[in-house]
């Protein structure tokens, strides 16, 4: 029984030793592979390639960040320019409203001048009619005076001797007074006509000024409308360019985000592979230690058995 046990133990020891030898050979192969991968230029090239790719991606990320900063600066500049354009449009709109107000005021003044001109024309016609009526009355009075003078002269001729109390100076005084009244009426008419002509000339000048102001305000309004149209077109172009830059920046950001996600996935996969290699190596180390412990136990058992077998012989 002891010999059978020893034979079984020897068989098991041989199997364990063969397994330990096989595992040691595999461990040596793996160690050599790890050392070769560590020291070989292929591993270095892989690491260098990985570092170069990581450096290139970092450079691309820095370039994208710089482009993002420049795009943000361009966006801020465009926003400021759009705000300036808006403020200018508001100013142009206010100027346009002011020009419209001035135009309406000038139109009102023009209407008032036209009404004043019409009133002056009507007043001139009325004064002409009054002057004509005064002339007719004066002619009638003059004719009556002529008739009275003629009748008076006829009555004077009927008398041979004129009485002493008669004074023909009164008729002359009366005619002088009538001539003075006539001259005064003519002078007043002339002054009124001159005043009316002056007011008419002033009304015409005011009318021409109002027309010129209206034309200038219309020209200014046309210029303002042209400037406003140009500013609106420029604003639309700036908004389109800003939207296009936003879309381009968003597309580049999405591309860089995808690249970063791919790099992170690759880094995660490399970490998983390194963790697997380390875990396999640790398992091999544990297995080696367990096998070395088993070998040590079997050696102690064999030594104890050999000592026990040699004891009776001694």
What would the pLDDT profile of 20-56 be if each residue is shown by its tens digit?
A: 888 888 888 888 877 877 776 555 566 677 778 778 8
pLDDT tens figures, 110-134: 888 788 778 877 877 887 787 788 7
Q: What pTM value is reported for the model?
A: 0.34
Residue 311 has pLDDT above 80, yes or no: no
pLDDT in tens, 218-255: 888 888 888 888 888 888 888 888 888 888 888 887 88
Alpha helices (H) in the chain, listed in sequence order: 2-39, 41-158, 169-313
pLDDT at 158: 57
**Predicted local distance difference test score (pLDDT) of residue 312:** 56
**Longest C-alpha distance within the chain, in Å?**
225
Q: What's the rounded mean pLDDT across residues 83-104?
A: 84
CA distances from 189 to 120, 129, 133, 139, 158 (A): 15, 11, 12, 16, 42
Listed as own residue / partner, the contacts of 301-307 with beta carbons closer than 8 Å and 24 or more positions apart are 301/9, 302/9, 302/13, 305/6
Q: What is the pLDDT of residues 157-205, one digit of tens each?
A: 554 444 444 444 455 666 677 677 777 777 777 787 777 777 778 877 8
In the prediction, which pLDDT does 186 show?
Answer: 72
């Amino acid at each position: 029984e002891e010999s059978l046990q020893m034979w079984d133990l020897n068989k098991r020891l041989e199997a364990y030793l063969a397994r330990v030898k096989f595992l040691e050979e595999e461990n040596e192969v793996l160690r050599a592979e790890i050392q070769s991968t560590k020291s070989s230029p292929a591993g270095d090239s892989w690491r260098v390639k990985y570092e170069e790719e990581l450096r290139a991606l970092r450079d691309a990320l820095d370039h994208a960040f710089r482009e993002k900063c420049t795009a943000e600066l361009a966006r801020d500049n465009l926003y400021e320019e759009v705000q300036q354009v808006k403020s200018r449009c508001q100013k142009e709109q206010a100027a346009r409203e002011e020009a419209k107000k001035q135009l309406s005021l000038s139109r009102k003044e023009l209407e008032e001048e036209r009404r004043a001109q019409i009133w002056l024309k009507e007043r001139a016609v009325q004064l002409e009619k009054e002057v004509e009526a005064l002339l007719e009355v004066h002619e009638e009075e003059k004719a009556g005076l002529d008739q009275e003078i003629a009748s008076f002269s006829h009555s004077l001729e009927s008398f041979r001797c004129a009485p002493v109390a008669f004074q023909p100076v009164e008729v002359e005084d009366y005619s002088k007074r009538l001539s003075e009244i006539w001259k005064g009426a003519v002078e007043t008419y002339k002054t009124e006509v001159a005043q009316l002509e002056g007011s008419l000339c002033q009304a015409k000048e005011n009318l021409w000024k109002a027309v010129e102001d209206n034309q200038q305000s219309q020209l200014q309004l046309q210029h303002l409308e042209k400037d406003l149209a140009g500013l609106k077109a420029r604003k639309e172009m700036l908004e389109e360019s800003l939207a296009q830059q936003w879309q381009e920046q968003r597309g580049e950001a999405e591309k860089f985000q995808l690249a970063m996600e791919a790099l992170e996935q690759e880094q995660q996969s490399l970490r998983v592979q390194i963790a697997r290699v380390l875990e396999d190596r640790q398992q091999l180390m544990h297995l080696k230690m367990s096998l070395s412990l088993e070998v040590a136990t079997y050696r102690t058992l064999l030594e104890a058995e050999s000592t026990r077998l040699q004891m009776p012989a001694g």
